[in-house]
Structure 1
Amino acid sequence: MDYLELGGWFRKVKDPILLEFLKVWGRIEVEGKNEGEVRDELQQQYQSLKKKMSDLKGYLAEVYMAQILFNAQRQTLPGHYFHVANEFEVPRFNFIRLRERLGPGAGSEIDLHGGAGIEQWVAESKWRRGHKVGIGDLEELLDKAEVVKRERKAELMRVWFFSYEGFTKEALEFMPKHGMFWSTKEDLDGLLDYVKLRRLPKL
């Protein structure tokens, strides 16, 4: 509550940071809880919330990527949005799935899988503030692409990686050697403009 001297009355506080402080202060000073434990619990809550927000942002980018492929079916896209030399035609997809599981184990989920007969697409989205994608992330996606290629008997595999924060120097050298498509935020915004969709939000 916020005390107003003029009139001597209280009103509800709308400041979320002040409210959080008062909750923590109350647990320590009023309830007599251990200060270190209260701080640790609060840190856990905020770290968990931060991870959830990162996951939601990543999922949002996956939705945009799927919509780009859906809108671009049977169209020719410029290669520069994917950092490849030539333009290419997007097939007519029989399905475009998000968060598809390849198996029961951890790390077996594909962010995006598009099936078009002998041509298959797999894509990954990373939206992590201050963290560029490295070779480890790329290798994981290539391993998943191999599983899809084997199971679907694909003759052409398109492997596409989007990273909001970009890629490490080693990753940038790695991707062309393995025929991977890759896009940054600027590339994805350009693609969204090209297929007449709304740009990524500023989060």
Structure 2
Amino acid sequence: ILWNNQNKIVDGKYFNYPKTIKMPNFIYIEQRTRLGSGSGKEIDIFASSGPDVWIGESKWMKNSVGKNVIENLIQQGCLVKERRGDNLRDLKLWLFASSGVTENAKKMIEDNGILWSTKEDLNDLLIDSGLRKLPDID
């Protein structure tokens, strides 16, 4: 999705976000990146265009995602900000929660400007991006 949408304007509805999003021209996109040792330091997606970074966390679960996942994503963002310092222009945190998020998590997401997508949102974005939908896994 990130590769296919580089330099495009994407509708914020796919990310439960009220505005359109200008996608960066990513230099690299890594999967399963570790920011250090210890728990909570693995990032599912780390994408950089140089000064702009996207961090993606994927939770394929039957239940809605709670605040603890959001808190960890925010902490990962803080680690990236600390490492990049003045070289970071924009940091986007993006959560894929196949079954959505709890109301408490949604409040935290909104307060912190985090992008998030359900399975339905992501499937719509995939189709809009010319890609195939996610598999039906229960």
Place the TM-score, normalised by the shorter chain, in its bin. Answer: over 0.9
Percent of aligned positions that are identical: 38
Amino acid of the structure 1 residue aligned with 2:127:
D
1:165 deviates by 1.2
Structure 1 distance, partners of 2:64, 2:21, is 27
After TM superposition, list the pairs within 5 Å mapping 1:16-165 onto structure 2. 68-129=1-62, 131-153=63-85, 154-165=88-99
Q: Which has the higher strand share?
A: 2
AA at the equivalent of 1:144: Q
The answer as to whether partners of 1:91 and 1:116 remain within 8 angstroms in 2 is yes
After TM superposition, which residue ranges in structure 1, 4 or more long, deviate above 3 angstroms? none
Judge conservation of contact 1:120–1:149 (CA < 8 Å) in 2: no
Separation in 1 of the partners of 2:99 and 2:117?
A: 10
Amino acid at match of 1:117: G
Q: C-alpha deviations, 1:38-92, integer Å up to 9, x for none?
A: xxxxxxxxxxxxxxxxxxxxxxxxxxxxxx0011001110011111111121011
Corresponding letter in the other structure for 1:147: L
Structure 2 CA distance for aligned equivalents of residues 139 and 91 of structure 1: 25
Letter in 1 for 2:32: R
Q: How many residues align?
A: 135
Deviation at 1:149, TM superposition (A): 1.7
**Larger RCO (CA within 8 A; separation ≥ 6):** 2
For residues 108 and 100 of structure 2, the distance between their equivalents in structure 1, rounded to whole angstroms, comes to 14
Q: After TM superposition, give the deviation of residue 152 of structure 1 in Å.
A: 2.0
The equivalent of 1:182 in structure 2 is: 116
Q: Is the 8 A contact 1:79 1:88 kept in 2?
A: yes
| Structure 2: stretches of 5+ with no match in the other structure | none
Shift in Å at residue 107 of structure 1?
2.0
**Could you state the TM-score of these two structures normalised by the residue count of structure 2?**
0.94
Let me know the Cα RMSD of the aligned residues: 0.9
TM-score, structure 1 length as denominator? 0.65
Query: What amino acid is aligned across from residue 191 of structure 1 in structure 2?
Result: L
Aligned-residue offset at 1:150: 1.8
Greater helix percent: which structure? 1
Deviation at 1:174, TM superposition (A): 1.5
